[in-house]
Amino acid sequence: MARKEFEIPVMYKSPIIRKVKEANQITDPRKKDLSPTELDFGSVKFLIPRHFGFCYGVENAIDIAYRAVEDNPDKNIYLLSEMIHNPTVNEDLQEKGVKFLFETDGSVRIPFDTLTADDIVIVPAFGTTLEIQEQLQEKGIDPYQYNTTCPFVEKVWRRGNQLGKKGYSLVVHGKHEHEETRATFSHSADHSPVVVVLNPEEARVLADIMTEKRPLDDFDTYFGHKSTDGFNPFKDLEYFGVINQTTMLATETQEVMDILKEAAKERFGEENVLNHFADTSDTLCYATNENQSATYALADAKPDLAIVVGGYNSSNTMHLVEILEHHCPTFHVRDAGEFDSSEQIRHFNQWEKEIQITENWLPSNPQPLRIALTSGASCPDILVDEVLLKILSFYPDAKDLQKVISRYEDVAAETE
């Protein structure tokens, strides 16, 4: 089946990275090769992963949102919250008159009582809760006239609904305050008891409560604020499945599944585990898997440092940073504006949750310096281009850009 083509604004399209991606699609159409592409500029080399940037869900959201603006020039247009976690895209939509009803943490920016039935409200790529959906419908607004919910998020909801109909409870691997997890929790709680776990460490706590290695009171301490009312881990985890926030580390989701499956084996016996624990590995997002696998391959190429471009509240971007920072100095930047010079860079530290300034971030040795360059799934490739060009400006003796990328243009030309 051919991939759906989306209308993406020209300003987001990349003249550099696009050519590399197109050449890779031609030479490796089955996506078997995860080795990064090397752009050799002599004094500096950029390692570009096989998979990164806009995913299907993000392209779908951008297509629908910009079409909503174009179709309704005389109407008030609102997004429930940031459509995707990229400031460039969200700021452009705001410049076009789109207003946000909520902050990303769920706090109200514009009260619902100011809306009318003539207004357009766009559901973001993360989806929304059933409660908000009902409030909009009560105002006479169809929340799904322009629905940018990622199809892979909806796939998670459908899988959860299938399990709910069979009497299963749900464990959601995700960040309970994230818009997507709030939406998934709401849709899941409509039919099942639900609890959210953040990481394997929390999964081990839940497993110990299940198997009575920890007291039941620990459940309220760790999970009371992110579970459905009256959730009982003894009763409600007798039959359960694990679903996930699609932007989490896929390896972590699998680890959460494995930990809880082992607890189910211990409690119910290995011969009975498949009657109690549902296999939900089919809910892992393909784009998250591809991007993270390509990032592991990027790390294996042993770069001297890494730059990851993306919004500072982007969960999937932060996981790419997490993968790379185990292997080399890694800087998370929102765009090329974070580089004051080759001596100083502003970047986001997700562990301290703050913007930091690092001096002498660009070492003079080794020569050539090998820089891994990638971006999150909500980041336009043009921003990666701009970062690449900004770094190249610090190397006046670098090879000519057009000569370096011409080989990728030639690959595309040969197939025409």
Separation of alpha carbons 212 and 127, rounded Å: 36
Is the domain of 51 the same as that of 64? no
Is the domain of 299 the same as that of 322? yes
Tell me the two tokens of residue 193.
Answer: 């008891």
- Considering the domain boundaries, does residue 184 fall inside one? yes
User: How many domains does one find in the chain?
Assistant: 3
The tens-digit pLDDT sequence of the chain (416 residues) is 345 778 888 888 899 999 999 899 898 888 889 999 999 999 999 999 999 999 888 999 999 999 999 999 999 999 998 888 899 999 999 999 999 999 888 899 999 999 999 999 999 999 999 999 999 999 999 988 998 999 999 999 999 999 999 999 999 999 999 999 999 999 999 999 999 999 999 999 999 999 999 999 999 999 999 999 999 999 999 999 999 999 898 889 999 999 999 999 999 999 999 999 998 877 778 888 899 999 999 999 999 999 999 999 999 999 999 999 999 999 999 999 999 888 999 999 999 999 999 999 999 888 899 999 999 999 999 999 999 999 999 999 999 999 999 988 777 566 54
Is the domain of 156 the same as that of 275? yes
Is the domain of 161 the same as that of 132? no
Q: Which domain holds residue 215?
A: 151-284
Tell me the two tokens of residue 205.
Answer: 């706590």
Listed residues 117, 138, 159: the one ending a domain: 138
User: Could you tell me which of 300, 356, 352 has the C-alpha nearest to residue 324?
Assistant: 300
Q: Tell me the helix, strand and coil percentages in the chain, rounded to 5.
A: 45, 15, 40
- Considering the domain boundaries, does residue 119 fall inside one? yes
CATH number of the domain that residue 268 is part of: 3.40.1010.20
Is the domain of 39 the same as that of 134? no
Residue 16's pLDDT is 93
- Considering the domain boundaries, does residue 5 fall inside one? no
Tell me the two tokens of residue 56.
Answer: 């299907």
Is the domain of 275 the same as that of 159? yes
Cis peptide before 368, with omega less than 30 degrees from 0? yes
**Burial class for 112, CB neighbours closer than 10 Å (0-12, 13-18, 19+):** middle
Separation of alpha carbons 299 and 329, rounded Å: 11
Helix axis angle for 286-300 and 250-268, nearest 10°, is 110
**Total length of the chain:** 416
- Considering the domain boundaries, does residue 129 fall inside one? yes
- Considering the domain boundaries, does residue 213 fall inside one? yes
SS3 for 320-349 is: HHHHHCCCCCEEEECCHHHECCCCEEEEEE
B/e letters for 278-303, b = 16+ CB within 10 Å, e = fewer, are bebeebbbebbebbbbbbebbbeeeb
Tell me the two tokens of residue 266.
Answer: 């211990």
Tell me the two tokens of residue 186.
Answer: 């709401």
- Residues sharing a CB contact under 8 Å with residue 379, sequence separation 6 or more, in sequence order: 53, 54, 86, 309, 310, 311, 314, 317
Is the domain of 79 the same as that of 125? yes
Catalytic residue among 59, 82, 179, 180: 180
Separation of alpha carbons 414 and 387, rounded Å: 29
CATH number of the domain that residue 106 is part of: 3.40.50.11270
Tell me the two tokens of residue 110.
Answer: 């514009």
Is the domain of 169 the same as that of 243? yes
Listed residues 138, 163, 197: the one ending a domain: 138
Listed residues 251, 284, 317: the one ending a domain: 284
Residue 13's pLDDT is 86
Is the domain of 310 the same as that of 335? yes
Residues 55 and 4: beta-carbon distance below 8 Å = no
Is the domain of 61 the same as that of 97? yes
- Considering the domain boundaries, does residue 204 fall inside one? yes
- Considering the domain boundaries, does residue 294 fall inside one? yes
Is the domain of 65 the same as that of 50? no
pTM: 0.89
Does residue 180 have an active-site annotation? yes
- Considering the domain boundaries, does residue 393 fall inside one? yes
Left, alpha or beta for 143 (phi > 0: left; psi -120 to 50: alpha)?
alpha
- Dihedral sign for Cα atoms in the order 257, 258, 259, 262: positive
For 305, list phi and psi in degrees, rounded to 5.
-155, 165
Is the domain of 97 the same as that of 160? no
Cis peptide before 366, with omega less than 30 degrees from 0? yes
Residue with tokens 């039935």: 117
Neighbours of 351 (CB within 10 A): 9
User: Could you tell me which of 280, 172, 267, 157 has the C-alpha nearest to residue 227?
Assistant: 172
